[in-house]
A and B are shown apart, each in its own frame.
Chain A
Amino acid sequence: MKKYDAIVIGAGHNGLCNAAYLAKSGLDVLVLEKNSYIGGATVSRELHKDWTYSNCSYVCSLLRPEITRDLELPRHGLQVQPYGGGVTFCKNGDYFGNYDDHERQQREIARHSKRDANAYDRYAADVMKQTRLIRPFLMRTPPDPTSLKPRDLKELMHLAKAFGEMGEEGLADTLRFWTMSIGDFLDEYFETDVLKAHLAGSGIIGTALGVYSPGSAYVLLHHYMGDVDGTVGAWGFARGGMGAVSAALASSFQSFGGDIKCDAEVGQIMVKNGKTTGVALSNGDEYHADIVVSNLDPKRTFLNIMAESDLPADVVKKARNFKIRGSSGKLNIALDGMPTFEGIENGSILLKGDMHFSDSLERMERAYDDWKDETWSKDPYLDMLIPSQIDPTMAPPGKHMMTVFVQYAPPYIDGREWTDEERDQFGESVIQQIANHSPDFRDLILHCEVRTPRELENEVGLTEGNIFMGELTFDQLLFNRPFPGYAQYRGPVKGMYMCSSGTHPGGGVMAAPGANAAREILQDLRRPNIVPGAYADD
């Protein structure tokens, strides 16, 4: 049987990015995908005729521009355009509109509090200080702080220098920022509940933390450190849905001669004499290669598709202890027209961005209480967008596609699997919250897909449905992601590597883990590095 140079498990964006770089370097690479379609959680699916759903990830900002350019993703069909605006609707009929232009944003904040309007500039500068610190490290392999290898020492120096440049006060602020809660952080700047609630969403999305849980401030940073064309913190739509990202990566990969097989679920990474030899599919088919890259999350990688006896006990322990908690669900809705929202005229830029209905940190924290009680939030936090207002490919003219990210949804209800009935009740609580602010919304629904962590795990392969493939908390970041000693993309078995969002710098459709892992693999193969570094100071 044919032997490949490398096999990548999982055709999500990181697997495809990793495979593209290996193939570009001249290796013979095979990508195996369990589903009948590629993309993982970066997909566009037609689940209702003529409607395209970004039914997992739904907006784009973190995808590294260095990769987009280097792999010529636009030539392979990827178009990313920014959306402006955003709004949080209040219980009392008012709202907070988040304009993308500074002056209207100032004016709208001032409508709620003049002081907060001015404090926003200070807040934005302070968050920017943190994003500037982290951004240069997205396209770098984290140093091993215990290593004395010249490369690790050099990288550690680089890290120390970046911290040093923050200054004494900046360093103190950074340590606070990385460990504090988003609620506490926002309380230091603002007095307006709805403003804080609007901004706090980025601190909890995808995370089993509440707005007052320590560590949630960093999660906000994770949502701010991307950019669209250099506008740091901006988010955009991939034309044709998020599947356009994986389709472009796949096309780039194939242009370098790469091979993708769908409906090919890997059951086992084969190991012989401490080295990988390839993979065996669930159906028994075997594929051989000296290099096997897992794009599955660390739990699935080490506990599902590797024999524990092939692994150091330490790795088994760390994989079991790896924190990957489901916290969110998703509704994807086909609409017969544009819903009307109270207080804001259709066509407003506010409706073209992210919409929310939680108008206080208190409500968001209570929503988290339900998660701790092992049930879904009765008053959930929604991150809702209608991309068809900007992207004409998502729905027929005049019709609309709505994506609703929902938090919180626990991986298990009272310790057991979700039932279909509970899934529907969960969906209903979301629809009701939207309908409370949009009188015609319910009547416009043509089709609705409801996904709980159960569906996200079973269909996509995200353990517990955790969208980041592991919590983005300080204990699982940088040289501790996924866990200490294994942060440089190399697995515990020779020839075995990791490239998923469970590795540095984490989730969010960045493709950086895939690219960084490729750099390490190429180095081990003593091939020239072809993976780009980060753009300078921005």
Chain B
Amino acid sequence: MNELSALPQHTTQMMLHTPFHSRVVEACEINEWSAWQGYTTPSSYTNVEFEYFAIRSNTGVFDLTPMTKYRITGADAEAYLDRLLTRNIAKLAVNRVAYIVMCNDAGDVIDDGTVFRLADNEFRLCTQERVLDWMMWSAAGFDVEVIDETADVAALAIQGPTSCRVLRNMGFAGMENLKPFGMQTFEFNGARIMISRTGYTGDLGYEAWMAPEQAESFWDALFEAGKLRGIRAFGSEALDIARIEAGYLAAGVDFVPAEQIVRNGRGRSPLELGLGWLVDFNKPVFSGRKALLKQKEYGPRYRFVKLSVEGNKPAEHSFIYCRGKAVGTVTSAGWCPTAKTNVALASLEMPYGRPGDELEAEIYYMRELHWTRLMAKCTIITKPVWEPARRLQTPAPDA
């Protein structure tokens, strides 16, 4: 692992560009840029609201190249991932994708992500954080090779009700038959690209994975095919609204990745993030199993909840109170423009958040330099506030 990789001139260039950069720059009218894993990425291209509604009503396109990607190969690849991840990977068929978390031995979540089974002994793991160090320690004793392929794979999320149609217009015949969490390889421009029916928006949508050389022509063909279908590029701000509406967690926002934690006890287990369904205790061995089993028996320290918040003021960074006592904090919050609901994701101390617990969010908002404090009633909700049927329909509907 000591190779001197040919990385861009780091002494002169502070930020990296994704392979889509020439097209992104052209589309980014308002120059709202932010840094994501060292890449220059747009927070917004034109107008956050319009970008968001492209996701919900047409097709939104998001450059997710900076997402950390690892390729795992080798005779023990499946056994290795079964040890690394809390889910049962043996059950994951080839050409299927699974949402996953990985835990450290204390049962705290290091990161969440998706694992793609490309072949029997070949997987791709996409994560928000860099987790190579933990993956390499975990690989000891397994016949497996782990490669960081972040810069070698360009990726676009193509999300929204017309996304299937747009991809079919590009010539990807049979796209509508791809099931949720399925993936398929297509030919494009004489090269092979992979398209998965996955996403982070809670809507019908796809992610396309390709070699960096394909990036620009793919972008061009995609936008050409979507011209009459309201296609629009969207930035991280619109994505954040969509994912909160869908109730998805963000690493580093809704939990602190375990390896980065400085203050003892600030980690969260999957059980404390509402992700207990990702933990397969039937597996005899996986990282964090012992600690999680103990937690299951004695009860977790925190409860992660989705809240419907009274009124329309976002409960960002709010304390949550139960009968006057601060029992937790909001990790993500926002007004959901499609569900027309005010939601918050919150971490509560146990045992709060029981049926019958009256919860309130302490919200501050400013209008013309005047601050108002508001105690807003919160109701725990179990389902996402936006869950369109098209998300799971196969064949995928055409509009």
Q: Which single member of A111, A121, A345 contacts B130 (CB below 8 Å)?
A: A121
- Cβ of A114 within 8 Å of any chain B Cβ, yes or no, is yes
In the complex, chain B residues whose CB is within 8 Å of the CB of A478: none
Cβ–Cβ < 8 Å partners of B2 in chain A: 112-113, 191-192
The verdict on B260 contacting chain A, using a C-beta distance below 8 Å, is yes
Are B10 and A104 in contact (CB-based, < 8 A)? yes
Are B5 and A348 neighbours in the complex by a CB distance under 8 Å?
no
Chain A positions within 8 Å of B148 at CB level: 114
Contact B10 A167 (CB under 8 A): no
A103-B37, A125-B259 known; A117+B130 contact, CB < 8 A: yes
From B7, B15, B35, B264, A111 is in contact (CB under 8 Å) with B7
Closest A residue to B39 by beta carbon equals A103
Nearest A residue to B263 via CB reads A132
Residues of chain B lying within 8 A (CB to CB) of residue A115: 1, 132-133, 136
**Residues of chain A with a CB closer than 8 A to B263's CB:** 129, 132
Residues of A within 8 Å of B382, CB to CB, are none
Contact, CB under 8 Å: B1 / A113: yes
What residue of chain A has the Cβ atom nearest to residue B136's Cβ? A115
Whether A350 is near chain B, meaning CB under 8 Å from some CB there, is yes
Q: Are B264 and A128 in contact (CB under 8 A)?
A: no
Q: What is the bound-complex CA distance between A116 and B16, given in angstroms?
A: 20
| Binary contact readout B122-142 vs A (1 if CB under 8 angstroms, 0 otherwise) | 000000001111101000000
Chain B CB within 8 A of A166 CB: yes
Q: Is the CB of B35 within 8 A of A103?
A: yes
Partner of A97, one of B10, B15, B106: B10
Contacts of A119 in B (CB 8 A): 133
State the majority secondary structure of interface residues on B. loop
Q: Which residues in B have their C-beta under 8 angstroms from that of A350?
A: 11
Given A125-B262, A191-B2, answer yes or no on A103-B38 (Cβ-Cβ < 8 Å): yes
Beyond A114-B1, A121-B130, A122-B133, whether A107 also contacts B264 by CB under 8 A is no
**A-side contacts of B5, CB under 8 Å:** 110-111, 114
A125 near B264 with CB under 8 A, answer no
Cβ–Cβ < 8 Å partners of A122 in chain B: 133, 259-260
- Could you give, for residues 165-203 of chain A, a 1 whenever the CB lies within 8 Å of some chain B CB and a 0 otherwise? 111011000000000000000000001100000000000
Separation of A165 and B264 alpha carbons in the complex (Å): 7
**Minimum distance in angstroms from A314 CB to a CB of chain B:** 39
In the complex the two chains form, what is the Cα distance from A116 to B137 in whole Å? 12
Nearest A residue to B147 via CB reads A114
Minimum Cβ distance to chain B for residue A522 (Å): 34
> B191: which A residues are within 8 A, CB to CB?
none
Known: A108-B10, A110-B7. A125 touches B132 (CB 8 A): no
Q: Separation in Å of the A301 CB from the closest CB of chain B?
A: 38
Closest A residue to B148 using CB positions: A114
Report yes or no: A170 in contact with B264, Cβ–Cβ below 8 A.
yes
Contact-size category for B: 20 to 34
B16 — which chain A residues lie within 8 A by C-beta?
A: 103, 107
Q: Which residues does chain B contribute within 8 Å of A170, judged by CB atoms?
A: 264
Asked whether B261 is an interface residue with its Cβ less than 8 Å from the other chain, the reply is: yes
With A104-B38, A107-B38, A108-B10 as known contacts, state yes or no: A125 contacts B4, CB within 8 Å. no
- Nearest B residue to A193 via CB reads B2
Question: B284 at the A/B interface (Cβ < 8 Å)?
Answer: no
Q: How many Å lie between the Cα of A110 and that of B265 in the bound state?
A: 30
- Asked if residues A104 and B262 are in contact (CB atoms below 8 Å), the reply is no
Shortest Cβ distance from residue A213 to the other chain B in the assembled complex, whole angstroms: 27
The answer to whether A107 and B10 touch (CB under 8 A), given A113-B1, A114-B148, is yes
The complex places the Cα of A104 from the Cα of B11 at a distance, in Å, of 8
CB neighbours of A429 from chain B (8 A): none
Chain B residues near A110 (CB-CB < 8 A): 5, 7
Question: In the complex the two chains form, what is the Cα distance from A121 to B129 in whole Å?
Answer: 11
| Interface residues as binary, B1-42 with A (CB distance below 8 Å gives 1, 0 otherwise) | 110110100111011100000000000000000010110000
How many A residues touch B, CB cutoff 8 Å? 36
Which residue of chain B has its CB nearest to the CB of A344?
B11
Chain B 206-229 per-residue mask, 1 if CB under 8 angstroms from chain A, else 0:
000000000000000000000000
- List chain A residues, Cβ under 8 A from B10: 97, 99, 104, 107-108, 111
Closest chain B residue to A126, Cβ basis: B262
Closest chain B residue to A101 by CB distance?
B14
A55 within 8 A of partner (CB): no
Contact with B along A206-237 (1 / 0, CB 8 A): 00000000000000000000000000000000
Q: Please encode chain B, from 309 to 349, with 1 for each CB lying within 8 Å of some chain A CB and 0 for all others.
A: 00000000000000000000000000000000000000000
Query: Inside 8 A of A191's CB, which chain B residues have their CB?
Result: 1-2
The answer to whether the Cβ of A466 comes within 8 Å of any Cβ in the partner chain is: no
Contact check, B262 vs A129: say whether CB atoms are below 8 A apart.
Answer: yes
Say how far A274's CB is from chain B's closest CB, in angstroms.
47
Q: Which residue of A lies closest to B68 (CB)?
A: A118
A166 touches B264 (CB 8 A): yes
Q: How far is the CA of A501 from the CA of B366 in the complex (A)?
A: 49
User: In angstroms, how far is the closest chain B Cβ from the Cβ of A292?
Assistant: 42
Bound together, the chains give a CA A125 to CA B267 distance in angstroms of 13
Q: Which of the residues A118, A132, A344, A348 comes within 8 Å of B133, measured between beta carbons?
A: A118
**CB–CB A106/B38 < 8 A:** yes
Which residues of chain A have C-beta atoms less than 8 A from B262's C-beta?
Answer: 125, 128-129, 132
Contact partner, B11, options A97, A129, A192, Cβ 8 Å: A97
Complex Cα spacing A128 to B130, Å = 19
Interfacial chain A residues near B1, Cβ < 8 Å: 113-115, 191
Across-interface contacts of A345 in B (CB, < 8 A): 11-12
Task: For the complex formed, measure the closest distance between the CB of B58 and the CB atoms of chain A, giving whole angstroms.
Answer: 33
CB distance from A131 to the nearest CB of B (A): 9
Point out the residues of chain B lying under 8 angstroms from A167, CB to CB: 264-265
B132: chain A residues within 8 A (beta carbon): 114-115, 117-118
* Contact in complex: B259, A104 (CB < 8 Å): no
- List residues of chain B with CB within 8 A of the CB of A104: 10, 14, 38
Shortest CB distance A118–B (Å): 4
CA distance A115 to B3 in the complex (A): 11
State the CA gap A119–B137 with chains docked (Å): 10
Per the bound structure, the CA–CA distance linking A101 and B38 in Å amounts to: 10
**Nearest chain A CB to B88's CB is how many angstroms away?**
26
A348 touches B136 (CB 8 A): no
A118-B14 in contact (CB<8A): no
CB contacts (< 8 Å) of A101 on chain B: these are 14
User: Which residue on A lies nearest to B13, using beta carbons?
Assistant: A104
Contact with A along B31-74 (1 / 0, CB 8 A): 00001011000000000000000000000000000000000000
A129–B263 Cα distance when bound, in Å, is 7
Per-position binary interface string of chain A over residues 72-102, scored 1 when its CB falls under 8 Å from any chain B CB and 0 otherwise = 0000000000000000000000100101010
Least CB separation from A112: chain B residue: B2
Which chain A residue has the least Cβ–Cβ distance from B36? A103
Chain B hits for A94, CB < 8 A: 4
Apart from A108-B10, A345-B12, A348-B11, what 10 extra A-B contacts exist at CB < 8 Å?
A: A94-B4, A111-B4, A128-B262, A129-B262, A129-B264, A132-B262, A132-B263, A166-B264, A167-B264, A192-B2
Q: Which residue numbers of B lie inside 8 Å of A, CB to CB?
A: 1-2, 4-5, 7, 10-12, 14-16, 35, 37-38, 106, 130-134, 136, 148, 259-265
21 A/B residue pairs, CB under 8 Å, sorted by A:
A97-B10, A99-B10, A103-B35, A103-B37, A104-B38, A106-B130, A107-B10, A107-B38, A112-B4, A114-B5, A115-B1, A121-B260, A125-B261, A128-B262, A129-B264, A165-B264, A167-B265, A344-B11, A345-B11, A348-B11, A350-B11
Closest 5 CB pairs of A and B: A103-B38, A167-B264, A118-B133, A119-B133, A118-B132
